[in-house]
Amino acid sequence: MTRDANSSVVPPSYNTPLGELALLFLRLGITAFGGPAAHVSMMESEIVRRRRWLSAERFLDMFGAANLIPGPSSTELAIYIGYEQAGVTGLLVAGICFILPAALITGVLGWLYVQFGKLPAVTGILYGIKPVIIAIVAQAVVNLAPRAAKSRLLWVVGILALFASIAGLDPILVLLAAGVLGVAAKRMLHTPHGSAAGAAFLGHVAGVAGGAVPVTLLGVFLFFLKIGAVVFGSGYVLLAFLRADLVDHWHWLTETQLLDAIAVGQFTPGPVFTTATFIGYLLAGVPGAVIATIGIFLPGFLLVAASRPLVARVRRSPQAGAFLDGVNMAALALMAWVTVQLGKAALVDIPTVVLAVIVAFLILRWKLNTAWLVGAGAVVGYLAQGLR
């Protein structure tokens, strides 16, 4: 889409061939290591600078829109671009082609994990990868916190959300309550007497707890559909939701299995949300992998299609911005707490602690690509296993 001299919106021409669109996003899906930031950088290079399909301003508009709706932001950016270039068909082609390579790779790794996950070599690899994952998630929290905490009141929102997470409250309700508090915090900054309704709401949020429940395909689909429809921010926020339900409430996975799934999601290219494919395979084989993948990505396609005409107005809304500020602080709190919980299963001895510290330093000091760090962790773990 372009703009004329009077800044009016000109309808898209949809001239990009579907074959070219498919090949581009298939290649990106195969080579896009390093998480959402790396994905966005690669898309900008291909779409804006190399092919000049979009202006830099339009690309940034789409990136901002992708961050305003739930789901994996880099995947939704790919879907937005497909929609812009080739309409609804392009939306489907770009999104599916970006997701498919990672989903297939992750599904195969799920099969290998089930078949060979207990072999010494594989155990050693995972032993080295898990501390790296903990360091990656921890540094993401550290890097994002200053940007999310735009005021002291938002720091308070984050602390309250952290306590709510420690108390075991449901992550969805924590995020919603924090959004309400974010709106209240914005009003308090502009009025002398703020309302305490948001704090009262958070205090009355009740967690959803329960015993083990049987795994069903419908249950797997509905769980991942819910995740895809409510999770804002990066794939790391996904971890809090996975642990709350799959480990704590339903006991479908162990802490170790969840960490292994996260490791696979980090090591493979494409969206981190394809962790769902791996988990789906562990829970219900090939049907579970397919159902989980469809469930977690389906909301993104629907939300992009529905939100595209409304994005500009929503972005200009102070209330919507304040709500998202609160949600972002709660997301960071969830990430922080789940990092602590998963760290108990990953940092099992002095070598794993040392490895996590070294990786955290390397990321913070030189911002190294996380895919290379995960690969290095795998090598270290494999070698360490051989020395035992």
Model pLDDT for residues 259-301, shown as the tens digit of each residue: 888 888 877 888 889 999 999 999 999 999 999 999 999 999 9
- Per-residue tokens: 118: 């207990």
Specify the pLDDT at position 358: 94
Mean of pLDDT values over 354-382: 85
% of the chain residues with pLDDT over 90: 34
Q: Which of 247-251, 313-317, 354-358 has the weakest average pLDDT?
A: 313-317
Q: Are residues 141 and 67 in the same domain?
A: no
Model pLDDT for residues 116-172, shown as the tens digit of each residue: 876 677 788 888 988 988 888 787 788 778 877 888 889 999 999 999 989 888 777
Q: Are residues 193 and 233 in the same domain?
A: yes
Enter the DSSP assignment of 368: -
pLDDT at 330 over 80: yes
Specify the pLDDT at position 5: 40
Dist CA 10 CA 265 (whole Å): 39
Q: Are residues 259 and 330 in the same domain?
A: yes
Last residue of a domain, one of 68, 96, 124: 96
Q: Which amino acid is at 276?
A: A
Q: At what angle do helices 73-116 and 255-267 cross, to 10 degrees?
A: 120
Q: Are residues 86 and 107 in the same domain?
A: no
Mean of pLDDT values over 241-253: 90
Last residue of a domain, one of 65, 96, 127: 96
Looking up tokens 């494409």 gives 270
List of residues 6+ apart from 365 with CB closer than 8 A: none
Q: Are residues 210 and 83 in the same domain?
A: no
Q: Are residues 272 and 299 in the same domain?
A: yes
pLDDT at 6 over 80: no
Of 148, 194, 69, which is closest to residue 162 (Cα–Cα)?
148
Specify the pLDDT at position 314: 59
Dist CA 1 CA 23 (whole Å): 21
Enter the DSSP assignment of 119: S
Q: Do the beta carbons of residue 278 and residue 106 sit within 8 Å?
A: yes
Specify the pLDDT at position 172: 75
Specify the pLDDT at position 288: 97
How many domains does the chain fold into?
2
pLDDT at 386 over 60: yes
Per-residue confidence band for 9, with pLDDT thresholds at 50, 70 and 90: very low
Which range scores top for mean pLDDT: 47-51, 205-209, 362-366? 47-51
Q: Are residues 137 and 32 in the same domain?
A: no
List of residues 6+ apart from 139 with CB closer than 8 A: 360, 363, 364
- Structural domain range at position 45: 2-96
Model pLDDT for residues 52-68, shown as the tens digit of each residue: 998 888 887 788 778 77
Last residue of a domain, one of 96, 118, 133: 96
Q: Do the beta carbons of residue 304 and residue 75 sit within 8 Å?
A: no
Of 318, 331, 316, which is closest to residue 154 (Cα–Cα)?
331
Q: Are residues 110 and 85 in the same domain?
A: no
Q: How far is CA 34 from the centre of its chain?
A: 13
Q: Which of 49-58, 78-87, 192-201, 240-249 has the weakest average pLDDT?
A: 192-201
Q: Do the beta carbons of residue 276 and residue 103 sit within 8 Å?
A: no
pLDDT at 194 over 50: no
Q: Are residues 149 and 30 in the same domain?
A: no
* Mean pLDDT of all residues belonging to the chain: 82
Q: Are residues 82 and 131 in the same domain?
A: no
Per-residue confidence band for 98, with pLDDT thresholds at 50, 70 and 90: very high
C-alpha distances out from residue 130 to 142, 143, 199, 359, Å? 19, 20, 36, 11
Give the β-pairing of 9-10 and 2-3: antiparallel
Q: Are residues 66 and 208 in the same domain?
A: no
Q: Are residues 120 and 189 in the same domain?
A: yes
Model pLDDT for residues 13-43, shown as the tens digit of each residue: 567 889 999 999 999 998 776 667 668 878 8
Specify the pLDDT at position 53: 92
